[in-house]
Amino acid sequence: MEAPFDAYFRAADLDRDGRISGQEAVAFFKASGLPQPVVAQIWTYADKNRTGFLGCEDFYNAVRLVTVAQSGRELTPAIVRSALCAPAASKIPAPRMNVQTPGPHASSVTSPSHPTQAPGPAPFVT
């Protein structure tokens, strides 16, 4: 997966167990600036097996849904299906997050900027 998604996973996995717990997800997704009900909805879609944890792929799907929600789209079942199915999923960029990476010299992790592109909704077909 892309570097920003990997960096976000490492930043969210506070206990380094290779999965994201609900508590870790809440702490991480606060940095998205999305309202708590939207974050809860994203968790529901991402934790599709209801395990209470997200592995890498489920976490990446949650991060993609953050991008979709940040674009102003409502997370309807149809939009979620479209956003998470290939090839649309691979075209969704990393969201804007204000998080700190772990380590002695923490630095902010942000999505790459695309100065030649105008901001707009996530690139997928509904």
Scanning the structure block, which residue is given the tokens 């290779």? 18
Q: For residue 119, what are the CA distances in angstroms to 5, 72, 93, 115?
A: 20, 12, 11, 9
How big is the CA angle at 37 (ends 29 and 113), to the nearest 5 degrees? 40
Instruction: Tell me the C-alpha distance between 10 and 5, whole Å.
Output: 9
Bridge-based pairing state of the strands 20-21 and 53-54: antiparallel
Show pLDDT as tens, one digit a residue, over the chain (126 residues). 468 999 999 999 999 999 999 999 999 999 999 999 999 999 999 999 999 999 999 999 999 999 999 999 999 999 999 999 978 888 999 998 986 655 433 434 444 333 333 333 444 444
Closest CA to 46 of 111, 16, 28: 28
CATH number for the domain running over 3-97: 1.10.238.10
pTM above 0.85, yes or no: no
